[in-house]
Structure 1
């Protein structure tokens, strides 16, 4: 469902104002409802003394803090100087150690250097230099009948093939880097698209909330106008009733001293002394008209109430339908966004799997060379 209870900055400010007012009210209650403060008051001298003591404590605390701050600054400066001196001495010592190693601890001067000399094979002679090498003997097993005399050509061909393989590996590595950059670019595009979708959904939700607020405001205005109309009608009816009451009182038999009020109910010719006020046909007709008017007014009032209830029900149905349509649209767009994200993630996963396979193939095919091992044991770090 549509979440209408999102905490906005305006809502947080209103909540802060309400909390501040509540705290102020609680403080005011404590001050007013405290009989000691209300009846006796407070000791101004004691308050002044407390304020002076508090001010003195604050000044002492500030002085201690300032002294502590200055001490920390001095300690930091001393520590920085000491650290610079230690770094300088350590650097000088390292330079002296490296200089000593370069002069007196060279690997060429070691007794067992010939055992791990990387150029030992380059310096030593091969077992067979030529076919008529005088070092060759019968038991040396260096020369046989039917030997391949195309060894030099074959070696040259093998070197060319190794160059081709190396160039192919370089091309594959360059292509792998390009594929990696393309994958990173696609991922960045996907992230930007996802952020744009999120912004669109947020704007849509704000628009729905704005429309709902406008519909509520229109309903409140209509309800306020209807209530004002009812109040005016009630005031008019009350005014008419008062006018009728005044008119009846003025034109009544009691003030007009109608002689017919003295006629007895036991006979038309009998008169009583209590000034009986009888009812004439025209008075009954007036009462009947008033009753009919009241009946008509009650009928109009019930029709107005029915109309108000129907308007309220119509507005409620409209608001519910609007919210339902907006919720369906949001769900539809969310499903479409989830589907697009799934497709993009699926494509990205395939691309990453392909890159991983190419990387593993490159790692397996590219073995470690002598240059890789020669980069170690070059310094003290």
Structure 2
């Protein structure tokens, strides 16, 4: 109101009430956003995002308009620059054409003062260095006339060419004559060589015929010698076979292979023999020896039967005693091993029982500690009702 002062209590109350109402309204809006599952999951402010998108579009439109204006201005400037460049090039061409026309019409090379120094036709217009062979200007020191450079050199060269041609024709004719002479000499040499070759062939043929005759005679002689040698070998072989047959027959019929016992009888006595001739005893002698040996064996067995039986019984008794001793030792060892195994099992069981008892005590103590110290403060229902009551 216009009549109230700035520090009026009613106005302050209204302002505070309005501020409180605004805070409550914002708090309700915040609670609606916080407790809304979709908004809380997405985690964004859609209105703020829409505002940002709208501002961004406005900014982009402004920037686009600015860019388009700048681009249009740049195009205009480029067009103006192109027109100015074309005008400048056209003016330069016109100026260059005018300069060339002026030079062509008013600045000819012939009108220059120093044209004679650079005239391309100066040598053609100048006087020749030598007008004749006896030109007085052609001094020795002038180096204008050398040997073979006279003005009549064309006719002289023509005469020299004709002379050279005559010389070449003469040389060609001489070469042809020499070639004909050489050919005649070669033909004569070939005829002589053919005659010599024919004579050599005749001599060679006669020599071959002579050698062939000698070879035939030698072959006939060798055949005769071979036949004689073959006949001699056959006779020698036949004689050798007859001698071998006689020797084999004599050996078969002799005392050595027939094993005649009379040949081994020694002259030193009846019971003695010659070692290198003795072939062993006869079957009758061997039979007699075996009969005597068998009789001796039977006699010995008859005398030693009782002793042999006693020996066998003693060996069997010793063997049974040894087996009994081994069985007793094995049974004793097995009993000792079983007792040792039982003792180890008892020790192991006692150790396991002690360990289990100790673990049980430790577990009970830990559980008691948890129940008395850790899990002593259980939450009540009031503890769970204090959540999700405000947006803060």
Q: TM-score normalised by the shorter chain: which range applies?
A: under 0.3
Tell me: higher relative CO, structure 1 or 2? Use CA pairs within 8 A at least 6 residues apart: 1
* TM-score in terms of structure 1 length: 0.27
